[in-house]
Chains A and B, each alone.
Chain A
């Protein structure tokens, strides 16, 4: 544990020293992974699949605000879907515009969830997002995760329906359009998952803010359990496509990942927590103080070895060795 804490402190130190480069590198990787996932899942436009284009766009995103990644990825998705069918591209573009106009005006920071949630779905760890956002965000983050889930299911629907879309004649544009709209409106799984994720964010947020020991651990586990239970309830009510074993495995993996996140963000020692009670003229205070787990800093002895210059009014400057004045801390 001490080694991990020391490693975390090292990470902090490195990040604070090279934050510009690390942030740029993280944006680059996020953009790169997003574009690769889009290419692998949709990939109808051959030109966009070329690696130089992906690398160039990722590099561009590295030096732009984080929301540029969303814009580039959204355009990428629309272009791929456009290659498949113009009508579907209109539907997807309308979906993105509605999301950005209605929700991301309020909290542009959370817009990145629209990208991260489908990536987590693709990596088979979808529960990570609602739990992680419940731990680090606010209840409103639930809307962002819900939007991410909707994006994932719409893209999956279009990706699964390529054969059907191609079998519809090119002249029958409205038929293709209806196929896309029906897929979105009648996709019960999408609706249930979006609502379940939003609920999970609220649940995790509420539990982790409770004044109880191990609140974050309980929040993670309750988030994972909440996801499974809500999904099973959804399955009973509207018969969605959810694999029970898959959901349980995904929940276990999500718990492990979120535990790692907790150790990075909120690592405290509950065994040394203290409760205090005091008062002033207006209030009673019930305070609970939980110490953070840290490693003691090494005491470095600093020895000054620089030379000190002494001015003599009637002589030349005389250099006095600093060892004569050295001070140890």
Chain B
């Protein structure tokens, strides 16, 4: 006898499995701290690349002036300013990453719990 509830449950679980299940299981293979730490690390790398691109674009914009004044620029002060901007940028971006991926991790845990509950229900049929 075909159980419609069982088929519905199986369909829901297959849908979940095919869409976000793999991603969620991948997330769950990490401890929360490790997963968020990895994402923050990726964000620091991304932010560093973006910062370098923006600095390069600005230098190229005033390239002639930059080359002319390169020996008159206070390199220490400019470096300090750039470093401050870089650190603030990376800190803000990392904080946003932390919040976003903490929420994502919590959601994936909740979804996985639902999924395993479904599996147990399926086993009871």
**Contact surface of A with B, Cβ cutoff 8 Å:** 91, 94, 97-98, 101-102, 105-106, 174, 177-178, 181
Asked if residues B54 and A98 are in contact (CB atoms below 8 Å), the reply is yes
CA of A178 to CA of B63, assembled, Å: 11
CA of A16 to CA of B49, assembled, Å: 43
Q: Which residue of chain A has the shortest Cβ distance to B53 in the bound complex?
A: A94
Asked if residues A102 and B50 are in contact (CB atoms below 8 Å), the reply is yes
Asked if residues B42 and A105 are in contact (CB atoms below 8 Å), the reply is yes
Asked if residues B54 and A178 are in contact (CB atoms below 8 Å), the reply is no
Question: When A91-B57, A94-B53, A94-B57 are in contact, do A102 and B64 touch as well, CB less than 8 Å?
Answer: no
Q: 11 interchain pairs (CB within 8 A)?
A: A101-B46, A101-B47, A101-B49, A102-B47, A102-B50, A102-B93, A105-B46, A106-B100, A174-B63, A177-B60, A181-B61
Name the residue in A106, A178, A181 with the highest tally of chain B Cβ atoms < 10 Å from its Cβ: A106
Asked if residues A105 and B43 are in contact (CB atoms below 8 Å), the reply is yes
Q: Which residue of chain B has the shortest Cβ distance to A174 in the bound complex?
A: B63
**Contact surface of B with A, Cβ cutoff 8 Å:** 42-43, 46-47, 49-50, 53-54, 57, 60-61, 63-64, 93, 97, 100
CA of A124 to CA of B8, assembled, Å: 43
Residues of chain A contacted by B61 (CB below 8 angstroms): 174, 177-178, 181
**Residue of A91, A101, A106, A178 touching B50 (CB-CB under 8 A):** A101
**Residue of A97, A98, A106, A174 touching B60 (CB-CB under 8 A):** A174
**Residue of B42, B43, B53, B93 touching A97 (CB-CB under 8 A):** B53
CB-based A-B contact count at 8 angstroms: 31
Residues of chain B contacted by A105 (CB below 8 angstroms): 42-43, 46
CA of A102 to CA of B64, assembled, Å: 30
A-B pairs, 3 with minimum CB distance? A101-B46, A98-B50, A94-B53
Nearest Cβ on chain A to B61's Cβ, whole angstroms? 6
Question: When A174-B63, A174-B64 are in contact, do A102 and B46 touch as well, CB less than 8 Å?
Answer: yes
Residues of chain A contacted by B42 (CB below 8 angstroms): 105
Residues of chain A contacted by B64 (CB below 8 angstroms): 174
Nearest Cβ on chain A to B52's Cβ, whole angstroms? 11
Residues of chain B contacted by A174 (CB below 8 angstroms): 60-61, 63-64
CA of A178 to CA of B100, assembled, Å: 36
CA of A177 to CA of B100, assembled, Å: 36
Nearest Cβ on chain B to A180's Cβ, whole angstroms? 10
Nearest Cβ on chain A to B25's Cβ, whole angstroms? 18
Nearest Cβ on chain A to B24's Cβ, whole angstroms? 15
Asked if residues A98 and B43 are in contact (CB atoms below 8 Å), the reply is no
Residues of chain A contacted by B53 (CB below 8 angstroms): 94, 97-98
Nearest Cβ on chain A to B87's Cβ, whole angstroms? 17
Nearest Cβ on chain B to A94's Cβ, whole angstroms? 5
Nearest Cβ on chain B to A64's Cβ, whole angstroms? 17
CA of A97 to CA of B57, assembled, Å: 13
CA of A94 to CA of B47, assembled, Å: 13
Residues of chain B contacted by A98 (CB below 8 angstroms): 50, 53-54
Given contacts A174-B60, A174-B63, A177-B60, 5 further A-B contacts (CB under 8 A): A94-B53, A94-B57, A101-B47, A105-B42, A181-B57
CA of A94 to CA of B50, assembled, Å: 9
Q: Which residue of chain A has the shortest Cβ distance to B57 in the bound complex?
A: A94
Residues of chain A contacted by B46 (CB below 8 angstroms): 101-102, 105
Nearest Cβ on chain B to A220's Cβ, whole angstroms? 28
Q: Which residue of chain A has the shortest Cβ distance to B97 in the bound complex?
A: A106
CA of A51 to CA of B54, assembled, Å: 36
CA of A177 to CA of B59, assembled, Å: 12
CA of A97 to CA of B48, assembled, Å: 12
Q: Which residue of chain A has the shortest Cβ distance to B42 in the bound complex?
A: A105
CA of A177 to CA of B61, assembled, Å: 7
Q: Which residue of chain B has the shortest Cβ distance to A91 in the bound complex?
A: B57
Nearest Cβ on chain B to A49's Cβ, whole angstroms? 29
CA of A106 to CA of B63, assembled, Å: 34
Nearest Cβ on chain B to A179's Cβ, whole angstroms? 11
Name the residue in A97, A101, A106, A177 with the highest tally of chain B Cβ atoms < 10 Å from its Cβ: A101
Nearest Cβ on chain A to B90's Cβ, whole angstroms? 12
Residues of chain B contacted by A178 (CB below 8 angstroms): 61
